[in-house]
Chain A
């Protein structure tokens, strides 16, 4: 994918694993209330310099509110927001080294595209020639050079979004807050812009915080992802950790597709957890260290692509295997998704890569099939 092209630099970038690294943006036990409503709830978070940080979460969970507190439009009701070790309380928005791209774009309607993009540079009293050069550069970055003289109302939705992006980027701010920056763009343009963004961020050593509803985008561009729910952070981790080792059913469910089987812990210890699934009769054995007592309710979560589907009964019986009937097949081009009905009435999904051009699938509707997985295919979650 486009954004991964920055590879080697990024692979070595992991300040969060180093206890000596200095926080850049820090939320210290921040609570934000609007009247009685708690928008951000006792939240602590550290973002490091040069990091590309993504905020993910359902609508209304407080993502924009977090950003507005960094930008200076809202103050925390309790707690502190720090930037580079300095408490931001009392610092007005126009004195903060942050720029924000607004979810609603907020383009100045009476100014041309050019003037919009150059507005921030002009406030810094940059020389005219320099401003023109930077505006030119930003215009070509977002591919809007022919539209420089237009007014915002003469642009399409996607073009407006790109102007907003260019305007927030133009000052090369130390911290750039992007609130759903690419939502209105088509897939190709979005991927190109993602690449341009990561490239610029790496080149200039900026810190980006991005809000997005597109998980793939978060996975592509971000160094770390925070998954939020109702004003709290549920998990912060790298994209692969979030995907492969979600810490709760909420995160597992939120990111990508996942199958969840409920059961009771049979045994733990020695790096192996056994879970007896209710109803399906399956026993799940997973290589995992888990602190839980036998008898506790727990959930086994596994991604569809980690499940194998076959017509034959596996040799080791019902360990890491369930039986079911093919209920539906979704053909997605590169893969097919099999929806398999278990005896309990629940369905599980398994994806199969389409390796041949055969239109007829060897396994088809109403076949009795076995779903199997390996001991390191899924995780057991206790919440």
Chain B
């Protein structure tokens, strides 16, 4: 049976999507604008993309952002995975409630507070602010997101698998790499991607803890926009949207293909008992 959409439903869905995507579509279209003025359409052109690659300040910022995102996502994934294991595995150790509370706190903490407190810490410790302090800050706040994603995968993990490996003579650390990690890998990868995107678009925390010579892309964009939106900014945002879209599509294709493969394998198993 086909459900007919009522007029009301149709309008609200259309409005909702328009609200979500219209600004993005506009931004993409205006990035191909010939005119220097953002609000005036001057015909199609890709010249702002060329301009963008000659804009050293923007390219530097992009490079900093990329390095921070890759490094912080990787370190946060390792730390977050370890934290998730500690939370799921070690049952009721002393101070477990405190530990899990501390893991989750950054999730609900306003960015301003996280940024400010980290800044105070770095100042107190006499850290030279710049690339490394941004990296540390990003590791700190994305670790908890990774921990939560990995934890949800770990709770469904059957521990007798590890016992079976131990039983067959495999020491604990090797068991982790041979058995546990491959099985929870989808969770770990998802955690990494989350950490990567969080780092990519963080503005507030980075602004607090940065120092001379380390400007991230969001910071650069924000400061330029305050002087007026330029078509270059539209171009750089379009590229970012492209990267994110490709990432999301790739991820969904991978999971889809795995699903299909599993189904086919199951059918095969049924056919020849």
Contacts and interface: CB of A to CB of B under 8 A. Distances in A.
Contacts, number: 70
Interface string B256-273: 000000100110110001
B168 A120 contact: yes
B243 to A, nearest CB: 30
A106 B160 CA distance: 6
Given A119-B168, A153-B266, A154-B265, A102 B163 contact: yes
B164 A102 contact: yes
A92 B273 CA distance: 38
B56 interface: no
A108 B167 contact: no
A153 B264 CA distance: 11
Nearest to A100: B167
A347 B170 CA distance: 56
Contact of A92 (B165, B166, B168, B268): B166
A299 B268 CA distance: 57
B163 A73 contact: yes
Contact of A153 (B158, B170, B179, B262): B262
- Secondary structure class of chain A's binding surface, majority of residues: loop
Contacts of B170: 94, 119-120, 123
A167 interface: yes
- Secondary structure class of chain B's binding surface, majority of residues: helix
A71 B265 contact: no
B179 to A, nearest CB: 6
Contact of B167 (A99, A104, A124, A156): A99
Interface residues of B, number: 22
* Size category, A interface: 20 to 34
B178 to A, nearest CB: 8
Interface string A87-100: 00000111100111
Interface in B10-54: none
Contact of A94 (B167, B265, B273): B167
- Of all A-B residue pairs in the complex, the 8 with the closest CB atoms, nearest first, are A120-B168, A154-B269, A123-B169, A106-B164, A106-B160, A93-B166, A94-B166, A110-B182
Given A94-B170, A171-B168, 13 more contacts: A72-B167, A93-B163, A100-B164, A102-B164, A104-B160, A106-B158, A106-B160, A110-B183, A119-B170, A120-B169, A154-B269, A156-B273, A167-B168
9 contacts: A72-B167, A73-B163, A73-B166, A92-B166, A94-B167, A102-B164, A106-B163, A108-B164, A156-B273
